[in-house]
Homo-oligomer: A and B are copies of this chain.
Amino acid sequence: MIKKIGQCNSLQVLKDAKLSRTSQRVAVLDMLINAERPLTVIQIFRNINFHQKIHKVTIYRILSSFVAKDIARGIPTDEGINYYEMACRHNPVHAHFYCKSCKKMFCLDPATSSRAIELFADLNGFKIEALSLNITGVCSNCNKGGSL
């Protein structure tokens, strides 16, 4: 499991991506930048709306715009829920672990992840747009009754 290291400046990220600077986008982006794990739309919605009111649909649209601009990436679970994380240079594509118990998603070691990903580098004729390696199970905290 890794911890986020690299930090980005949300205003700079938006400027580079040529996305207009709205308070909603800044709020969502700051949340992604500071998150220590991928977040769902609902998690972002709840956290932001503690202080600021943003419509849920807006968060869907903001995240879609981030994904389109390669600012963020979406990680779908077995259970059909999308988690989002930064897709900046500090955070290359990597594998994830999803805990069915606490519903948290953990980022897995990027070195091991990239070794796995490289194995599928040449699927001749097939154009690869995204690769996801997801493990589902129960996290160590939940295993020892941590969710109580």
**Copies of this chain present:** 2
Q: Helix, strand, loop or mixed for chain A's interface?
A: mixed
CB neighbours (8 Å) of A135 from chain B are 120, 123, 126, 128, 130-132
Interface pick from A21-29, A49-57, A137-145: A137-145
Counting CB contacts under 8 A, is A80 at the interface? Answer: yes
For the complex, count residues of A whose C-beta is within 8 A of B.
35
Q: A78-B132, A131-B134, A134-B131 are in contact. Are A140 and B119 (CB under 8 A)?
A: no
- Say whether, besides A76-B80, A119-B112, A129 and B125 are in contact (CB < 8 Å): no
Binary B-proximity of A105-124 (CB < 8 A = 1, otherwise 0): 01010001001110110011
| Shortest distance between the CB of A18 and any CB in chain B (Å) | 25
Residues of A within 8 A of B (CB): 74, 76-78, 80, 95, 97, 100, 106, 108, 112, 115-117, 119-120, 123-140, 143
Nearest first, the 10 closest Cβ-Cβ pairs linking A and B are A125-B140, A116-B116, A129-B137, A127-B138, A130-B136, A128-B137, A127-B137, A133-B133, A131-B135, A116-B119
